[in-house]
Amino acid sequence: MKTWHCIVGLLLITALTLLLEIPSSTWFTSATLSMLLGTAALVYMAVSCLLASRWKVVESMFGGLDRVYETHKWLGVWALVFASYHFVFKANLDEWNSVPILELSKYWTRLVRQLSYIALGLIVLLALNRNIPYSQWRLWHKLSGPLFLIVILHWLSFKSPITLDSPSGIWLVLCCGAGVVAAFYKLVLYPFVARAGEYRVAAVSRDKGALHLTLEPVNKRFDFKAGQFAFLAMQQKGLREPHPFTIASANAANGQIEFVIRGLGDYTKKLCECAEVGMRADIYAPYGRFKRPAQAEQEIWVGAGVGISPFISWLQDPDAKDFDKVTLVYCFNPSRAFPPFETLQTMSAQRGVQCVGNSGGLETLADTLRQAVARGAPDKVHVSFCGPKELLAKVSDLMRANQIPLSNLHNELFVFR
């Protein structure tokens, strides 16, 4: 499922169930549109809570937790857009014979209406603001669940043609019920139910503002597949918030797990500075569906900066094969490359993978794609990418220029927040 599938699908179901409740003569009015968009905003908020639960079934539907969070973000944005229209335009007509599901005084009904809009605005604006320190951002974002209850109260106390036993009412009850359960699970139960295990920092390596972290299990370990990621929460003041990092190692028999982390934000900078051997950490994992394409005649792996992590994991996977058809392109800044290009060359040579460095411009990457197309049909060339979205756009342009179908591009979304 793609993001637009979710957004459009939920809107269509909401519209269909709502229009069954009101006279057809009022369908094409601003009041109906206001009611529809307000109801859709409530559904989007409920589904956003559901997506934030990190349930495996939800991740499977979207093909990876990175896609889930992308959809989660856009549901919030569109919920705010829809709620803005609903807030401005009256969502009621005399022909509807509207009554509230939950009777409140006029004062409280109006107050809840205003608070629900403010709550939604705060949730979305705080979620999209990258200038807020991660620890504070995560704390504020935890309020999404409780604030969602205010929006539900607005629906129940506002006069509308929707009744609980109507198609629209049943649809809203199902969505809101699932959203409340998911929010409760994420806020209260998740640390106890989803914890994969406690780990100890076994080795620390720093270079050029980056960190190579090796951890070993203290009690139970978890199995994962090459290319997946985990949420790392150090048991250290200021570093306790779970943060997602791609696993940069294969599933080892001793249970050790490795991460390559660059200090880009306030959290990662502090982690790179403070990490020491012996520290304990909780790891929530595994997540992600970043896999090698099946039945590809030629594979081009493009890793940029710490986006090289999943490809390091792929290189170390003992069960992987067909490395002779792989070319790894490492896009890096020479002054900040970690791991060094020479280290990656050695790892690639051990598995029979051709490794090339792209340290300035896109000439090397462009040449690699041209050579791949010269060796075979463009539709048999598959590109796997992990890195900033700005570079992803350029990779897409190069694929178009070489007539490689964009459907052959497999990428891990680089930023969650």
**3-class secondary structure, 412:** strand
| 129: in domain | yes
Q: 209 and 336: one domain?
A: no
**pLDDT tens profile 271-315:** 998 999 999 999 998 898 888 988 789 999 999 988 899 999 999
Q: What is the CATH number of the domain that holds 348?
A: 3.40.50.80
Let me know whether 61 and 172 are in one domain: yes
Residue at which a domain ends, from 143, 173, 193: 193
Contact 348, 299 (CB under 8 A): no
The mean of the pLDDT values for the chain is 89
Residue of higher predicted confidence among 1 and 367: 367
Same domain, 49 and 32: yes
Domain boundary residue among 193, 222, 242?
A: 193
Residues 149, 33 share a domain = yes
Residue 146, pLDDT score? 84
Q: Where are the alpha helices (DSSP H) in 229-317?
A: 266-274, 309-316
Same domain as 407, residue 303 = yes
What is the amino acid identity at position 343? T
Query: Does residue 293 belong to any structural domain of this protein?
Result: no
| CA 394 to each of CA 180, 331, 365, 382, 400: distance values in angstroms, whole numbers, following the listed order | 41, 12, 10, 16, 10
**Within-domain flag for 281:** yes
Task: Please indicate whether residue 264 or residue 151 has the higher confidence score (pLDDT).
Answer: 151
Q: 31 and 133, same structural domain? A: yes
Rounded to 10 degrees, what is the CA torsion of 396, 402, 403, 408? -50
Helix, strand or coil for residue 68?
helix
- What pLDDT does residue 417 have? 53
- pTM to 2 decimal places: 0.85
Residues 254 and 228 reside in one and the same domain: yes
Does residue 417 belong to any structural domain of this protein? no
Q: Please check whether residues 37 and 171 belong to one and the same domain.
A: yes
Domain CATH for 135: 1.20.120
Residues 20-70 pLDDT 10s: 989 999 999 999 999 999 999 999 999 999 999 989 899 999 988 889 989
- Clarify whether residues 23 and 130 are in a common domain: yes
Q: Can you tell me the distance from the alpha carbon of 135 to that of 122, in angstroms, rounded to the nearest whole number?
A: 17
192 falls in which pLDDT band (50, 70, 90)?
A: confident
pLDDT attached to residue 207: 81
Distance in angstroms (rounded) separating the CA atoms of residues 285 and 307? 18
pLDDT of residue 71: 94
Strands 381-386 and 257-262: unpaired
Q: Is residue 347 included in any domain, yes or no?
A: yes
Outline where 317-379 has alpha helix (H).
341-350, 363-375
Domain holding 263, by residue range, is: 197-287
Would the CA dihedral through 195, 236, 124, 107 be positive or negative?
positive
Please check whether residue 127 is in contact with residue 73, taking contact to mean a CB–CB distance below 8 angstroms.
yes
272 touches 207 (CB < 8 A)? no
Q: Would the pLDDT of 414 be above 70?
A: no
